[in-house]
Structure 1
Amino acid sequence: MLIGELAAQAGTTTRALRHYEEQGLLESDRTTAGYRLYEPGAVRRVRNIRELLSCGLTVEDVKSLLAYLDADLPEVLSYSPLCADG
């Protein structure tokens, strides 16, 4: 898929995708015309990158998790109140 398609499916911008690629978080192939081509699994990877960054991780933190970005992330950040009575 092309960069615009990936951006639309992942809910982000083409600028963010280029940034992720520059930082080594995302890879693409190129067409003969130089357009970026992404695998269908890139949608999940981009969503995971966005989720981790929104949780406060840095790009360097996310880089250390590259091996896990192509699968669903575990639900470890879910909210649970410490005291139900306040």
Structure 2
Amino acid sequence: MKIGDLARETGVSPRLLRYYEEQGLITAQRAASGHRRYTQDTVEAVARIRMLLGAGLPTSVIAGLMDCFTGGTELEACAEQHLRAHLDGIESRIAQLQETRSALTALIGTTAAPAPRQLAAA
């Protein structure tokens, strides 16, 4: 199928499909005219990519996970190490954000309260 057909079938723009190809997430064969040609398997690959992007994974991590699919969107055990490493990074960022929130909350508590407004005499 052509890139436009793949875009319609997956709901992903041709530009984004070309990006996926640049990142090594999908592959295309080239017709004699130079146009990209995709197989039906690419539709499943795009669904996998979209699922992993939806889970917050960057394309660099996704590239390492593409061989860990058993079929459809089910992952084999080889994905666990990649997923745990990414989760650990997220947990670390959450902890840092919580510390930042606490520090900001403490700073807000130390600011001087605004002086009460006085009503203008009528």
Corresponding residue of 1:74? 74
Q: CA deviation at 1:68?
A: 3.1
Bigger relative contact order (CA 8 A; separation at least 6): 1
**1:1-86 correspondence runs (5 A):** 1-69=1-69, 71-74=71-74
CA 1:34–1:70 in 2, change beyond 3 Å: closer, same or farther? farther
TM, length-normalised to structure 1: 0.80
Corresponding residue of 2:95? none
Deviations 1:22-74 (A, max 9, x none): 00101000011110000111001001101111110011110111213572223
Structure number with the higher helix fraction is 2
Is the 1:21–1:27 Cα contact (8 Å) retained in structure 2?
yes
Count of residue correspondences: 75
TM, length-normalised to structure 2: 0.57
1:41 is paired with a residue of what secondary structure? Answer: helix
What is the percentage of aligned positions where both structures have the same residue?
37
1:24 is paired with a residue of what secondary structure? Answer: coil
Unaligned stretches of 5+ residues in structure 1:
76-86
In 2, Cα distance between equivalents of 1:35 and 1:73: 28
Letter in 2 for 1:62: I
Unaligned stretches of 5+ residues in structure 2:
76-122
